[in-house]
């Protein structure tokens, strides 16, 4: 994904599960990184996500990470994970390697592990619920 090529990705929107402590932690981690591509983080299946991306299956965005590019590209699961890393200055070389045949099994294993853990810790439906309300990428998190 060269920045000078036509249709280059200049902006990504990451739809994250606001009821998942792991997803919220990763959201804060992404906000603290140095970006090569601008990133917006929006709770999956929220009013804002539905407004921005009416064409998406929003129920499925709660089941797996979904990233939308500024030209309408949609990545899910392992590909979304790799694209998120690709957008970060410190992690782009790792993303390039994870996208190769040698690295892809590691990316899939990381996503499988995160997905399994995520299903076990989601707060939706639990009596205590999330500790704080979900917010979009406008929350004040030091960068």
Domains of the chain: 11-121 (3.40.30)
**Coil, strand, or helix at residue 92?**
helix
Q: How many residues does the chain have?
A: 143
> What's the CA gap between 131 and 141, in Å, rounded?
17
pLDDT digit string (tens) for the chain, length 143 residues = 333 344 689 999 999 999 888 889 999 999 999 999 999 999 999 999 999 999 999 999 998 899 999 999 999 999 999 999 999 999 999 999 999 999 999 999 988 888 777 777 766 544 333 433 344 444 433 33
Strands lying side by side in the sheet with 11-16: 38-43, 11-16, 66-69, 74-76
Distance CA 85, CA 120 (A): 24
* Cα separation, 69 vs 31, whole angstroms: 17
- pLDDT tens, position by position, 22-33: 889 999 999 999
The answer to whether residues 134 and 46 touch, using CB atoms and an 8 Å cutoff, is yes
Which residue, 49, 72, 48, is CA-closest to 61?
49
Which residues have CB under 8 Å from 86's CB, separation 6+? 1, 36, 37, 92, 95, 96, 99
List all residues 6 or more positions away from 53 whose beta carbon is below 8 Å from its beta carbon: 13, 15, 68
């Amino acid at each position: 994904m060269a920045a000078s090529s036509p249709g280059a990705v200049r902006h990504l929107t990451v739809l994250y599960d606001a009821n998942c402590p792991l997803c919220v932690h990763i959201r804060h981690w992404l906000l603290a990184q140095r970006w090569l591509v601008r990133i917006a983080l929006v709770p999956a299946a929220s009013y804002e996500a539905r407004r921005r991306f009416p064409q998406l299956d929003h129920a499925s965005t709660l089941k797996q990470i979904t990233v939308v590019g500024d030209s309408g590209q949609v990545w899910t699961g392992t590909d979304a994970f790799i694209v998120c890393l690709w957008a970060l200055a410190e992690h782009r070389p790792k993303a390039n390697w994870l996208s190769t045949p040698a690295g892809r099994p590691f990316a899939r294993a990381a996503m499988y592990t995160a997905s399994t853990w995520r299903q076990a810790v989601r707060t939706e439906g639990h009596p205590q619920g999330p500790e704080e309300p979900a917010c979009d990428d406008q929350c004040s998190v030091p960068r």
